[in-house]
Amino acid sequence: MNFIYINGVKTYCFASRQEAIDLAFSERKSLIAVNAEKILHANKRTRDLFNEHIGFSDGIGAVWALKKKGFKNAIKIPGCELWLDIIKSVNGSKSFYLVGSRQEVIEKTVDKLKKEFPQISIVNYRNGYIRNEAEKIDLLNDIVTRKPDVVFVAMGSPKQEELIEDMQNVHPAVYQGLGGSFDVYAGAVKRAPEWWVNHNLEWAYRLIKQPARIKRQIYLLKFAWMLAWGKI
């Protein structure tokens, strides 16, 4: 068994990103980023959403928990990099559908992908502002019609996971929730410099740049304390 439940959230331990990609394609399931905030805020609804699919350690808090529970080879797999790894892994043999962010950002994302991956097959895309039930139904119908192999949804959690569940119900495929990854890829948001990323301090860099995030980042400290004292 290569997973554990952390506060009821099923979290897999992968020794490499390719392991996560291979499992997603073999089981045609969604890849769910797991971090300290999601674990601490988990409730029955979000646990059900996450646990039906493949939760990977997107945050350092999830890595700490895996290691403490005996998975010494656990690694952090940033979701903002994993989706590009998926494209590199199957480009030319699989088709893609993109949902998320603002219209300007999604268009820049698609243009950049086509330049970076000339063989990529993007069957369609749309922004992440689904304003009513009719627009959601139109999206679901388009997914069924175009039958993409992989769908990336960048809308934030749990909204993206809820939409992914609806799409999975009408068209089984590999899905991944990306949060703000399109914004980073398109250059609308700057990611932390490499040193901060490599030292697992990306959260600290973002806090310095956006002090208002303190209410969110404090959950990592709370998570670390609970983990150290066996409360989680």
Could you list the residue range(s) of the whole structural domain that residue 173 is in? 92-191
Q: Give the number of domains in the chain.
A: 2
Angle at 228 between CA 227 and CA 232, to 5 degrees: 25
Is the same domain home to 186 and 96? Answer: yes
Residues 71 and 103 in one domain: no
pLDDT digits (tens, 9 = 90+) for 143-182: 999 999 999 999 988 899 999 999 999 999 999 999 999 9
Pair (177, 232) in one structural domain: no
Cα 34 from chain centroid (whole Å): 8
The domain that contains 142 carries what CATH number? 3.40.50.2300
Q: Examine the domain organization and report whether 143 and 202 are in the same domain.
A: no
Specify the pLDDT at position 1: 63
Answer yes or no: do 68 and 134 share one domain. no
In contact, 185 and 203? CB cutoff 8 Å: no
pLDDT tens by residue, 63-79: 999 999 899 999 999 99
Q: Residue 195's pLDDT is what?
A: 81
Same domain, 125 and 141: yes
pLDDT in tens, 83-114: 999 999 999 899 999 999 999 999 999 999 99
* Radius of gyration in angstroms for the set of CA atoms belonging to the chain, rounded to a whole number: 17
Full DSSP string of 122-177: EEEEE-S---SHHHHHHHHHHHHHH--SEEEEES-TTHHHHHHHHHHHHS--EEEE
Does residue 85 sit within a domain? no
Per-residue confidence (pLDDT) for residue 199, from 0 to 100: 73
Pair (199, 185) in one structural domain: no
